[in-house]
Structure 1
Amino acid sequence: MTTSIQAMVDNSSAAWEGWNGLGYEARSQILGRWAEELAPDVRAMVAFQCRNASEHVAETLLMPGPTGETNELYCAGRGSFIVTADVETSLVAVVGQIAAALVTGNTVFVCLPSDYALSAGELAAQLEKSGCARGVVTAIDSGQLADLVSHPAIAGVAYAGKLSTSQALARQLAARDGLLAQLISETDCESLPVIGSPTYSLRFVTERTRTINITAVGGNATLLELGSGEEH
């Protein structure tokens, strides 16, 4: 693993906690400012992803528990995702992937073909200008993609394009060491049945529980927070 890849992963991981801790409303506002720079159809996709995330994953649910204990169930980002696509894939699809990953609290590496309509660097610059902290969105080139996909700290890959490339990415993720990472794949880049699903944002989150015990010795509240780390 090259030092540059590790440095990028470290920067992305360092940015993740702050970004994930902002909350859905703040992240949606930042993405809304970004969308103002985009074409109407692409802007509509950002709004679609933010709206669906707000409906399906933003709410904190209160669960039953013993007297003196509060239990909350909520969704959080998984970590760092790679967003990548083929040159023929529409910008609407690419932006849909980026928006869904970001609004749910993940940091993102963007890798696009050199002759794509908009470069990964331009997208990253737009998002930083709109309010994303440095490290939340990182542009990478195609020569760095394979090493990054194989890095054990990557939570998953969102890809839109050919079935053959999707299968190759799935094999690469399955062969790597460390925690399992998921592939979120869209191979119908005309209809976008995956990216266009109202529940697409659920693929980018993990469920966590937070317990607050107000009956601790001395009357001090204690907090226990657990994450499932599994796909929901």
Structure 2
Amino acid sequence: MKNQIQTLVNNSAAAWENWNALGYEQRTRILTTWANSLNENSQKMVAFQCLNAQEHVGETLLMPGPTGETNELYSAGRGTLVVTGDEDATEVAIIGQLSAALVNGNSVILCLPINASLQAGNVINQLTLAGCPLNVVQSAEHEQLTALVANTEVAGITFAGQASTAQCLARQLAERNGLLAQLIAETDCTQLPVIGSPTYSMRFITERTRTINITAVGGNATLLELGSGEEH
């Protein structure tokens, strides 16, 4: 199982960079096309997440800097996220988690129970038909969740379901070595106060700065790009 999990994570990491580089506009187009294959409530959720992401984190901001230097602040995805839930997770909740993760530039491993309201295989097929690149979204068996949580290359876990399970996931993440990983948990799968927040997208990104120096001899531009590695 360990080798299988690592293959999933490696494939996800390889797909992440290009997906993240597409930008909000192209990712939104793909997700909007995908939404056409969903029911009305799920379509509204995808539209909601895309709109809020563009409004709150999708804009590149120009920062002050010396003459001859351009400084930009923008957001990027965190990397590989696991989207999961228990039997309480509704289809709209899962769609909300998935669309928020994707539109903000993350790759996703779907890890859902067999009797979940949404089947991972169907979702991946629909996204592929909508133009989502290979391995941006993959699936894992629910029994593999513990191994995924323990993998230090997974940037975070997005969970919908019971509070007791969310607490268990938080403890597992806290026990990991290496970089801290975030738990994004929704424990009210009826009202969706977390997923339904206009600023939900901020949980899925890191801030980056881009500096372009155009004062070099001959007008050559040099580029310095830094990522904060922290939540927006």
TM-score, normalised to structure 1's length? Answer: 0.98
Aligned to 2:148: 148
Q: Does 1:208 align with 2:216?
A: no
Aligned to 1:59: 59
CA contact (8 A) 2:83 2:97 kept: yes
Aligned to 2:186: 186
Aligned to 1:103: 103
Alignment of 1:1-232 (within 5 A): 2-232=2-232
RMSD, matched Cα? 0.9
CA contact (8 A) 2:88 2:160 kept: no
Q: Deviations over 1:70-96 (max 9, x none)?
A: 000000001000000112211001000
The alpha carbon displacement at 1:125 in A equals 1.5
The alpha carbon displacement at 1:34 in A equals 0.7
Give the letter for the 1:80 counterpart.
T
Give the letter for the 2:100 counterpart.
A
Q: Deviations over 1:151-186 (max 9, x none)?
A: 111110110100000000000001011110000001
How far apart are the structure 1 equivalents of 2:117 and 2:197? 24
Give the letter for the 2:40 counterpart.
P
Give the letter for the 2:19 counterpart.
W
How far apart are the structure 1 equivalents of 2:120 and 2:178? 27
The alpha carbon displacement at 1:120 in A equals 1.2
The alignment-based identity, stated in percent, is 63
Partner secondary structure for residue 73 of structure 1: strand
How far apart are the structure 2 equivalents of 1:65 and 1:35? 41
Give the letter for the 1:58 counterpart.
G
Partner secondary structure for residue 19 of structure 1: helix
How far apart are the structure 2 equivalents of 1:153 and 1:217? 41
The alpha carbon displacement at 1:218 in A equals 3.8
How far apart are the structure 1 equivalents of 2:150 and 2:218? 48
Partner secondary structure for residue 122 of structure 1: helix
Partner secondary structure for residue 229 of structure 2: coil
TM-score, normalised to structure 2's length? Answer: 0.98
Q: Any unmatched runs of 5+ in structure 2? A: none
